[in-house]
Amino acid sequence: MKKESKSGRRHFFKLAALGGLGMSIMSPLSLRTSLAGTLAQDEDGTKTNIKDALKHPRTENSMPGKYPGKVVKLYDPESVVDDKPQEVSAYKMLAKGMLMLTGEAELEDAWRQFVNPNEIIGLKVNPVAGKPLSTSHAVTKSIIRQLKEAGIPKENIVIWDRREMQLHETGYNKENYPGIKIQGTEQQDADGGFYDKEGILYGDKMIDKDWYYWADCEQEYDAYTLPYMVNSGKYSYFSKICTQEVDKIINVPILKNAGPTVTLCLKNLAYGSITNTGRLHKPLWSETCAEVCAFPPLRDKVVLNIVDGLRGCFEGGPGANPQFICNYHNMLIGTDPVAVDRIGYDIVIAKRIEEGVQEEDSPRGRKFMKLAEKLELGVADREKIELIETEV
């Protein structure tokens, strides 16, 4: 396979962020025939297999977790200096937030409510917008430091996302994180190729075909785009990273917009954990954000959501347009991804209105949160959310 240039990858990622993915020659996968009795129809009439997710019994770790409807919002004006997130400040914000969320007096005890030394802990970061607006190393390194202080061996920590090459290009590598596993679903070899000697996509080896999100819509991908989607057809398969390789997941999204809504906890998880997402953006964006998170590999493993709101954006997301990047100086922490998303949504929408990007809030921007609430993943009603605000 011809080596992929970095400029080519950047061009693809820009298109992907905008939802404009190429279509042409690849044949869709043949469909399975075992869906009878498992389909539900979404509001726009598109059928999905969400009922498959609901058949699995919930566990003690299932969303919305230990603290449903509770969100801690931290603010530190010194958390960003010269547009650079500060690790010292991020560590203090995280420590204070964990104590306030859990009510514990000791930081180790706070972390031990969620993770244990014998578990593999996956940190789901977001590098999709490149170096200008990825999950900051200040926040990620603070989480790792506190995990280690709570007795979690660094060998038991995995930093992961959908595309391993994006992780590397944004500084998530062995040089910056010695002893920490860095892994993505979609991978390239040392020569930049996506296929092994047998012509099989590396990404195909990283997906678990026992777990999938089926939706009655599809899109064909050209030869250039397919490696970034892994498969076409009506199935979106879950990554083995979340189904097989980690025991618990800490979700670390960024405070940014996606048009007149946000791409925070639910979006970071849903679109970062499955394949073949190009087909889902236009017809089922809200449904995908909610329904994919209702499947056990995410619903029962995500124990914490820590939103990196030191820097974010209010327009142009989920990509990074410099003129819309701002310093929010915030961090949001909670076990309830829906409640955290709602608080983050309020912050971003207020900024958009302040900057004149939109005139007022619209219920359409909150649709995915209402769908997630119906699936019992968390609290979307602002009046029912306990928000604890503090300045560090």
Tens-place pLDDT, residues 288-324: 999 999 999 999 999 999 999 999 999 999 999 999 9
**Amino acid identity, position 79:** S
Quick one: pLDDT at residue 41?
A: 61
Tens-place pLDDT, residues 329-360: 999 999 999 999 999 999 999 999 999 999 99
Rounded mean pLDDT for each run of 10 residues along the chain, 392 residues in total: 42 43 29 41 80 97 98 98 98 98 98 98 97 97 98 98 97 97 96 95 98 97 96 98 98 97 98 98 96 98 98 95 97 99 98 97 96 98 98 96
Quick one: pLDDT at residue 13?
A: 47
Segment holding 253, helix H or strand E: none
Residue spans of the domains in the chain: they are 6-22+39-391
**Of the candidates 194, 276, 278, the residue with the CA atom closest to the CA atom of residue 232:** 276
Quick one: pLDDT at residue 44?
A: 61
Q: How far apart are the first and last CA of the chain?
A: 51
Quick one: pLDDT at residue 38?
A: 52
Dihedral sign for Cα atoms in the order 163, 166, 171, 174: positive
* 1 neighbors 195 (Cβ within 8 angstroms): yes
How far apart are alpha carbons 65 and 62 in whole angstroms? 6
Quick one: pLDDT at residue 8?
A: 47
**Of the candidates 290, 387, 354, the residue with the CA atom closest to the CA atom of residue 73:** 387
Segment holding 291, helix H or strand E: helix 281-291
Quick one: pLDDT at residue 76?
A: 98
How far apart are alpha carbons 124 and 337 in whole angstroms? 13
Longest Cα separation, the chain:
59
Quick one: pLDDT at residue 45?
A: 79
Quick one: pLDDT at residue 42?
A: 59
Quick one: pLDDT at residue 368?
A: 98
Quick one: pLDDT at residue 265?
A: 98
- How would you classify the pairing of strands 261-262 and 257-258? antiparallel
Query: What is the value of pTM for the model shown?
Result: 0.91
